[in-house]
């Protein structure tokens, strides 16, 4: 274990400042500072608020992660950071911090892909990823089916949402039901006491001529909103628990049906589910049921590793080091639309600083990248 790569990972793609420390496939620390409460009154994430929160939380969260891991920054073999996709301003804070630490410490810098990191985090719980692995990633910003034959270099998109992501639909339906933000956990909680067959909400893109692996939740969200509006207009009470259960069932039915179909079509016997919505209890249960029926092994990390976190970034960074992938250059930039086909952003073979005056440049680097 001692000779496995020790990597610190920084995640700032949205509203969570995540810092993780990983040695090989062993999680040593997972520190998170969330700004979700600051966004709740707006009913969604405000990019400027998220960026400022990252800036304030960054150094304390890194210090906390290193302390929790019981390691010194100088012992690290590399620093990984989410380079994209995500909110541009939020990503910039993380990338700038990673550059500053990597330069000052003379360590390799790895700009990695947020979605590939969500897949790689499963290694921290269930061991090395089978190759190939089918991954269903569902969150507030993404609903994607991905086929990975090598998590560091070969991730192929099979399907994605053409409108609202699954998590986004959860947030919007929760808002219509006056259940607050974020919507995922509260919808899951109310759904447990409701009837998933009470209301026949539509299943988007499931017709014979529709794209086999793409998703659409905008029509479902609108159908739920109109159903609720009709009830209220008629002066009737809205059965919140039944609405939550029926809506949730429509989402997870489509997600699991398409994921299992993709596994069958591609001859893949492993399905990994990640992203914030992977914490949903009904999604986990239905996926397990359908995978067992199809002879597919299901891998889902524990809920804390499904949401955005630094551990997933560190996990992918450690894999980059272990497989001798090229480190990123110092001109690494945040890319809000970084494609999943780029699991990381390799450089052209730069050398890393080991000079005594490297620390003198940390503030300069951070200031230049954060405010330019």
Binding-site members are 114, 118, 137-141, 171, 184, 188, 280, 308
Query: What is the β-pairing status of strands 133-138 and 270-274?
Result: parallel
Q: CA–CA separation, 71 vs 63, rounded Å?
A: 10
- In terms of Cβ atoms closer than 10 Å to its own Cβ (0-12, 13-18, 19+), residue 354 is exposed
Q: Residue 178: which of 124, 240, 268 has the closest Cα?
A: 240
Classify 361 as helix, strand or coil. helix
Give me the sheet containing 133-138, strands edge to edge.
154-160, 143-150, 133-138, 270-274, 297-299
Beta-sheet strand order (sheet of 78-84): 26-34, 16-23, 6-11, 78-84, 109-113, 344-345
Q: Which residues participate in the annotated binding site for substrate? A: 137-141, 171, 184, 188, 280
Phi, psi of 25 (to 5 degrees): -115, 20
Residue 107: both structure tokens together:
């360590």
The DSSP code for 215 is B
- Rounded CA separation 193/201 (Å): 18
Instruction: Tell me the two tokens of residue 155.
Output: 């991730």
Q: Which residues are annotated as a binding site for Fe cation?
A: 114, 118, 308
CA 133 – CA 92 distance, rounded (Å): 30
* Alpha helices for the chain (secondary structure H): 36-40, 47-69, 88-105, 114-120, 123-126, 166-176, 183-191, 218-233, 240-266, 281-294, 303-306, 310-322, 362-371
Q: At what angle do helices 240-266 and 281-294 cross, to 10 degrees?
A: 30
Nearest to 359 by CA among 101, 135, 184: 101
């Amino acid at each position: 274990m001692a000779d496995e790569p020790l990597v610190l990972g920084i995640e700032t793609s949205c509203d969570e400042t995540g810092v993780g420390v990983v040695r090989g496939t062993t999680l040593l620390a997972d520190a998170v500072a969330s700004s979700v409460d600051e966004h709740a009154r707006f009913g969604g994430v405000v990019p400027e608020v998220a960026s400022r929160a990252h800036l304030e939380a960054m150094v304390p969260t890194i210090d906390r992660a290193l302390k929790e891991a019981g390691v010194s920054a100088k012992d690290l073999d590399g620093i990984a950071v989410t380079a994209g996709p995500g909110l541009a301003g939020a990503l910039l804070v993380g990338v700038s911090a990673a550059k500053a630490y990597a330069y000052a410490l003379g360590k390799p810098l790895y700009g990695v892909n947020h979605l590939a990191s969500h897949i790689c985090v499963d290694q921290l719980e269930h061991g090395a990823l089978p190759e190939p692995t089918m991954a269903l990633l569902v969150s507030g910003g993404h609903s994607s089916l991905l086929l990975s034959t090598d998590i560091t270099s070969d991730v192929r998109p099979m399907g994605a949402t053409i409108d609202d992501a699954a998590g986004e639909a959860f947030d919007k339906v929760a808002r219509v039901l006056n259940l607050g933000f974020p919507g995922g956990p509260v919808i899951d909680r109310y759904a447990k006491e409701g009837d998933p067959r009470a209301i026949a909400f539509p299943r988007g893109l499931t017709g014979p001529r529709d794209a086999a692996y793409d998703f659409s939740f905008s029509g479902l969200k609108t159908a739920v909103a109109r159903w609720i509006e009709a009830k209220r207009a008629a002066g009737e009470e809205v059965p919140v628990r039944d609405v939550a259960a029926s809506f949730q069932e429509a989402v997870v039915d489509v997600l699991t049906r398409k994921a299992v179909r993709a596994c069958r079509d591609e001859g893949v016997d492993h399905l990994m589910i990640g992203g914030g919505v992977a914490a949903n209890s009904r999604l986990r249960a239905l996926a397990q049921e359908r995978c067992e029926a199809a002879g597919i092994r299901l891998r889902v990390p524990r809920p804390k590793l499904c949401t955005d976190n630094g551990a997933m970034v560190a996990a992918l960074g450690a894999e980059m080091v272990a497989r001798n992938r090229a480190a990123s250059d110092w001109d690494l930039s945040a890319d809000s639309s970084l494609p999943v086909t780029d699991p990381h952003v390799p450089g052209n073979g730069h050398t890393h600083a080991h000079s005594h005056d490297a620390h003198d440049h940390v503030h300069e680097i951070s200031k230049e990248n954060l405010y330019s």
